[in-house]
Amino acid sequence: MGGAAVLTEQKATKQKAARNAKRTAAKPHTRARVHTENVAEAELPLFVPAPSRVSSKSRISSKGQITLPMQVRERLGVGSGDQVEFFFDGERTVVKPVRPEGNPFEKWIGIAKDRVPADFDPIAWQREIRGWDAWDEEHYK
């Protein structure tokens, strides 16, 4: 970065700090100045509200069924046909997705055992279908 660019960046930073100072002077009780290594001056609110809790409602049908709101389904990572568990934790009821235990690919292990010859060499097969020749063998060992 050239010297002129650094000076321009410093000038822009000072101008921004001056604008922020004017805003801070207008509302001194709502902002605090903080000095950090990377930023000359920053403004942070004195009061940081707690993370908002999203409230969702659902009606129980005559069959005792509920529809999970979209926000809840997305947060749990569930969709149509998935199962959820309900736990009671003191005064709270907790909803948790049911995840299968073990390896999800276990049913596929050994599926090609009877279809692949015992002397099958996957590297040789790849080279054959990709058109490798003697020159490739010499240069890509």
**Residue 13: predicted pLDDT:** 78
What element of type H or E holds 32? strand 31-34
Q: Is residue 117 part of a domain?
A: yes
Pair type for strands 42-45 and 31-34: antiparallel
User: Which pLDDT score, from 0 to 100, does residue 64 have?
Assistant: 92
Please check whether residue 110 lies inside any domain of the structure: yes
Residue 35 pLDDT greater than 50, yes or no: no
Instruction: Give residue 34's pLDDT band: very low, low, confident or very high (50, 70, 90).
Output: very low
- Model confidence band, residue 3 (pLDDT cutoffs 50, 70, 90): low
Express each pLDDT in 86-118 by its tens digit.
989 888 888 899 987 888 888 888 888 788 888
Asked, for residue 15, whether it belongs to a domain, the answer is: yes
Residue range 37-75, pLDDT digits in tens: 544 445 555 555 556 666 778 899 999 998 888 888 998
Q: Can you tell me the mean pLDDT for 10-28?
A: 68
Rounded Cα distance, 107 and 24, in Å: 64
22 close to 43: Cβ distance less than 8 angstroms = no
Range of the domain at 32: 3-45
Mean pLDDT in residue range 74-83: 90
Residue 114 falls within a domain, yes or no?
Answer: yes
Whether 95 contacts 76, CB under 8 Å: yes
Establish if 24 belongs to a structural domain.
yes
Q: How many domains does the chain fold into?
A: 2
Within a domain: residue 77?
A: no
